[in-house]
Structure 1
Amino acid sequence: MRVGASARLPLSGWLLAALMFSAAAQAAPGVVVEIDGLDDERLRHNVEAFLDIESAVGKPLPTDARVHWLHAQATAEIHAALEPFGYYSPQIDAELQRSDDGGWRAVYRIDAGQPVRVRDFDVVISGAAAQDAPFAALLDRQALHAGAVFEHSAWEDLKSALQGLATERGYFEARIERAEVIVDPDAGAADVHFHLDSGRRYRFGELSFRQDFLKDSLLRRYNRIKPGDPYDAAALIDLQSALNDADYFSTVELDAGPDRADGDVVPIDVRLEPRKRKRYDFGLGYGTDTGPRGRIGYQDRWVNSLGHKINSDLRVSTIKSTLSAEYVIPGNDPRTEQVAIRAGADYENSSTKWSQTAVIGISKQVQLTSAWQRIVALDEQVERFRQDNGDTETVALLIPSLSFTRLHADDKLNVKRGDRLTFKLRGAAEPLLSDLSFAQFSAGAKRVQPLGDDARLLVRLDAGTTWTSDLERLPTSIRFYAGGDNSVRGYAYESIGPRNAKGDVIGGKNTVVGSVEYEHRVVGDWSVASFVDAGDAFNDSMSLKIGAGIGLRWASPIGPIRLDLAHGFDDPGDAFRIHFTLGPDL
């Protein structure tokens, strides 16, 4: 080797050196901590968190003095770690040993013993809240009670919950007179003392709105708080939610804090910022029933200071186009009631029907409960359609209708559990501005049931029946058809039903359609499905048509997207038919 030249280590030498360093590092003496005797993972994890000696594990070996000092603190730290769970008298065997490699091995054998239980549960609510039922209900729900294991977290939860409830219900002068726990480890008992003097309960004062585009008379119909009512934060949240749901406002802020009180009366100040008044919607899509389709929507959120609205919608596809508009008037209770004056026109030209329909009418919608909705309507309908014999006919009908809908779902966009029920009764009488008489009742039900974390069962049943004085002149929009994406898959759109002499489907007086579908998630938001559908549209005797197949599902941000491959087992079913749909399951 020449003087001044640098020596180069081959690659294999570097690898060997690295391995030797790694082995040396692994073999370096250190501190090992063992905890025995605690089967409850909560206790074990808390002991590990409290033990300072655990901080030396996996690090360079501390000095002997440091290790001995850490070990000496361990017994007190274990006591402190177990007490929050009610264990005040544990038996601890602590041992510190030199290990063969020169490090240290700390072993703690722990018998937690019996937990301390609540002996005297002395919780007293005085003042106006003593007669306020929610306080008694809260105490009934608490984990801390006589005979329960005394856990510190339950004690903190109790204090926090009572103070929070006092604030929510307007006891702004509430004060804690006593809050202590006396623990007797020898007796295995804890005496809990919490005394809360609520003082007086504040009341609501006058309500004022800060906005300049809607009449106060409309906004006050959303409010259910009366001056003098006892203060309740839940009532404020309810009012804020109702105003948000009204679709008029981008911002809803309520100021009703105790700092605004005059004596024990708290006025309510509501600040409202308007949303954009006009809204436009555009959409393009495709469905195997309709083919390519497009949509244009327009909404005027408030036509005037009374909060009246205009909604209009144009939908165009290769087989069916609709134009609709409605003028919506808030009801006496605008949260749950609205009246709509509506008009619309439909044009349909499919393989099974041809019709032109114009409708004008009025309806009243009432939200009966959080799930049930009722709609009463009266429509004047004029429909020009192709009769069973191929001739065209124009029929005018004055149709009153009554419908009830129940919808309950954990997530209305992507449902994991929920159900839908619908009932509708409608008809017309020939003497009352109608060219014929009919009465029709229809009902539908659908259930989405989870099967574990990754599967769902979807069951659907729809049925309807019609009486009419003249079946041949009954408009096609009132007849029943089956087959298609949302009916019996494996069959073309509305291809199932009674036929005329030419073999054309003309629709029937009755229908029954059912479906059972199993869906299983495979990865992320993707699922596979298998299904069996059955149904018929008929006049006198039913002959169920069966369809079955498999499908792919994607729970997209805009709702479920479904792609199905189905086989129709009966005439006029297809050997294989693709169905593509988008939208909520309920």
Structure 2
Amino acid sequence: MRTSATTTLLITLLLPVAAGAQVLGAVRVTGIEGEALDNVRKSLSLLRLDDAGRAALEEPRLAYLLRRVPDEVSTALQPYGFYAAGADIAVERKGGTANVTITVKPGEPVRVDALALHLEGEALRDESIRASLATFPLHTGALLDHAAYERGKLAIQRALLARGYFDAEMERHAVEVTRTRNAARIDLAWNSGIRYHFGETQIEGSHIRRSLLEKTVPYRQGEPYEQDSLLQLHQRLTELDYFGYIDVRPDTEQAQGDEVPIAVSVAPGKRSVYTAGLSMGTDSGAGAQFGLERRWVNDRGHKFAAHLDWAQRRKSLGAEYRIPAFAWAEGWYAFGANRREEESTVMTTRITELVASRSGRWRGWNLAVAAHARLEDFEIGDRQARRSGTAQVGETRLIYPAASAQRIIADHPMYPSRGFSLRGEFKVGASALGSDVSFGQFLFDAKLIRSLGQDNRFLFRGQLGRTFTDQLQALPPSLRFFAGGDRSIRGYRYQHVGPRLDDVPTGGKNLLIGSAEYERMFTPTWGAAAFVDAGNAFNEINEGASVGAGLGLRWRSPVGMVRVDIAKGFDDNAGFELHINIGPDL
């Protein structure tokens, strides 16, 4: 960096003569604020004294440190464009204590008078690199900010490397400051050299077949180098969940001609993962969960998982075998079997199911198609009716295809301040497929989170479902719509909102639910919420809506948000309900 002209620093010392040691008291710095103030305070020798030095400061040493203040202030402010800074210093003595006030006078700032960004080599024709030059943070007339200058240089250098200009060199980088005019000239020049292309991808350390891992490579040999492609490759290898260590980088030392080989180093992760945990839900009761995952069964990358969920009013046991798939979207073929039992105050269901599915990710969406073979037997009625044998009893065999799509966008996986989720599911069954009931059904679910400031969030939720069938009574409860509960309309018991027979909810063809919630965090982990939920499960559109409202306690625990809500339904027969729920917001 070259500078010209000189700067006069104005110093006023109000320093009465005193003998002996002085205790350095308060040191105040005024006249500036923000990052500039922080940098000045870090630069002052007066403020770098330890406690012993402050307590036994001899008069000559104090005078010397005060004489250094103007130069230290000037040096500290230059990175922010102030090259003509001055400082007034006042010392006030009370007894043996010296209190110092430093009034900073930044002066006129230096502004960019001329900016020249030069580029030579193949990158001159690269629109992406030219766009990086166009976004350089300083421009003619801007305040000379050295931090922004360095960020701009680094951004261009990174852009060159990200596009494969590994031989790029900075030929000139000069900032000339003329203090008499408070003006700066910036001159930067790069020679990019050639742009490299992808060479051979070399994979080392893998226990999975190379032919499978090659399908995760998003580029072809000979294509122009893009760092984003390597990030995508790293992400794909991570999502396969085979490896405990993954490193993907261009091996520039082995480059031949204009091709650079890509070195992929991996190491196996832990093969078997065991999980155990406790669960608690108002609807399901207390329970325990156990799981086993075999992250690879063989060198073809197959996976196996099994789970057991045993709660007071919900039990499930299942197993799934997965095979990686890459045909139309990266995902999995899966084959599963499960047994589920669920009991509530209005029904008991027992489901045995086989599922074959194909899942994949496409443009941010998680997509899946599946074939279900399900046998469900059920009893609809309260506990007394089930004990007396007067409950509605049925057994239904269903064979049906289903399709689903889901997308989640959030700025934090556990506690987002902004985000949304969308989910849609469609099922269709017919006697021609072997089902006892012909039906079609869709269900849409949407959630939205927005923040106001750091501690306030608004959460909105909506559900819309519709079933097309003339055999509703034969349709099992798991495919009917019910409302009420901690994830539905709070203020009502689980599955207690909807069409009734002998005052017992039987489920409906349609579902419409909306919810609005305001949350305020009083500490980083504790907060409260107020909410209103409304909706219904219904057969006819004129059946009205049930509304519930309440207050809740929020705890941001290490495993997710814990919600304890007390709500009151507005219907005549509704009382206060306690709802407890644990899990992510989206």
- Structure 1 residues 99, 396: CA separation in 2 closer, same or farther (over 3 Å shift)? closer
Structure 1 Cα separation of the partners of residues 350 and 57 of structure 2: 90
Please point out which of 146, 159, 162 is paired with 2:156. 162
The residue that corresponds to 1:400 in the other structure is 401
Aligned length: 556
Please point out which of 331, 334, 338 is paired with 1:340. 334
Does the 8 A contact of 1:337 with 1:366 survive in 2?
yes
Structure 2 counterparts to residues 136-535 of structure 1, below 5 A: 136-211=130-205, 213-332=207-326, 336-370=330-364, 372-386=365-379, 390=391, 392-500=393-501, 502-535=502-535
Structure 2 unaligned residues grouped into runs of 5+ = 1-17, 382-389
Instruction: Say which one has the larger Rg.
Output: 1
Structure 2 Cα separation of the partners of residues 318 and 339 of structure 1: 33
Aligned partner of residue 276 in structure 1, secondary structure: coil
Structure 2 Cα separation of the partners of residues 60 and 167 of structure 1: 54
Does the 8 A contact of 1:61 with 1:103 survive in 2?
no
- Structure 1 residues 55, 125: CA separation in 2 closer, same or farther (over 3 Å shift)? same
The residue that corresponds to 2:10 in the other structure is none
Structure 2 Cα separation of the partners of residues 474 and 107 of structure 1: 82
The residue that corresponds to 1:561 in the other structure is 562
Structure 2 Cα separation of the partners of residues 53 and 375 of structure 1: 66
The residue that corresponds to 2:8 in the other structure is none
The one-letter code sitting in structure 1 at the alignment partner of 2:295 is R
The residue that corresponds to 1:80 in the other structure is 75
Task: Select between 213-222 and 159-168 the one with higher mean Cα deviation.
Answer: 159-168
CA RMSD of aligned residues (A): 3.2
- Structure 1 residues 325, 122: CA separation in 2 closer, same or farther (over 3 Å shift)? same
Structure 2 Cα separation of the partners of residues 582 and 93 of structure 1: 58
Offset at residue 494 of structure 1 (A): 0.9
Offset at residue 198 of structure 1 (A): 1.6
Structure 1 Cα separation of the partners of residues 74 and 355 of structure 2: 77
The one-letter code sitting in structure 2 at the alignment partner of 1:191 is R
Aligned partner of residue 487 in structure 1, secondary structure: coil
The residue that corresponds to 2:58 in the other structure is 62
The one-letter code sitting in structure 1 at the alignment partner of 2:437 is L
Structure 2 Cα separation of the partners of residues 487 and 272 of structure 1: 45
Aligned partner of residue 431 in structure 1, secondary structure: helix
Offset at residue 31 of structure 1 (A): 7.1
- Structure 1 residues 415, 104: CA separation in 2 closer, same or farther (over 3 Å shift)? closer
Does the 8 A contact of 1:222 with 1:333 survive in 2?
no
Please point out which of 119, 132, 136 is paired with 2:113. 119
Structure 1 Cα separation of the partners of residues 167 and 116 of structure 2: 22
The residue that corresponds to 1:128 in the other structure is 122
- Structure 1 residues 344, 149: CA separation in 2 closer, same or farther (over 3 Å shift)? same
Structure 2 Cα separation of the partners of residues 283 and 82 of structure 1: 56
TM-score by length of 2: 0.85
Does the 8 A contact of 2:206 with 2:267 survive in 1?
no
Q: Percent identity?
A: 35
Offset at residue 479 of structure 1 (A): 0.8
- Cα deviation per residue 1:525-557 (whole Å; 9 max; x = unaligned)? 011222222232221232322222222111111
Does the 8 A contact of 1:387 with 1:472 survive in 2?
no
The one-letter code sitting in structure 1 at the alignment partner of 2:81 is G
Aligned partner of residue 81 in structure 1, secondary structure: helix
Structure 1 unaligned residues grouped into runs of 5+ = 1-24
Offset at residue 216 of structure 1 (A): 1.2
The one-letter code sitting in structure 1 at the alignment partner of 2:82 is Y
Offset at residue 61 of structure 1 (A): 4.7
The residue that corresponds to 1:5 in the other structure is none
- Structure 1 residues 291, 72: CA separation in 2 closer, same or farther (over 3 Å shift)? closer
Structure 2 Cα separation of the partners of residues 104 and 503 of structure 1: 84
The one-letter code sitting in structure 2 at the alignment partner of 1:177 is E
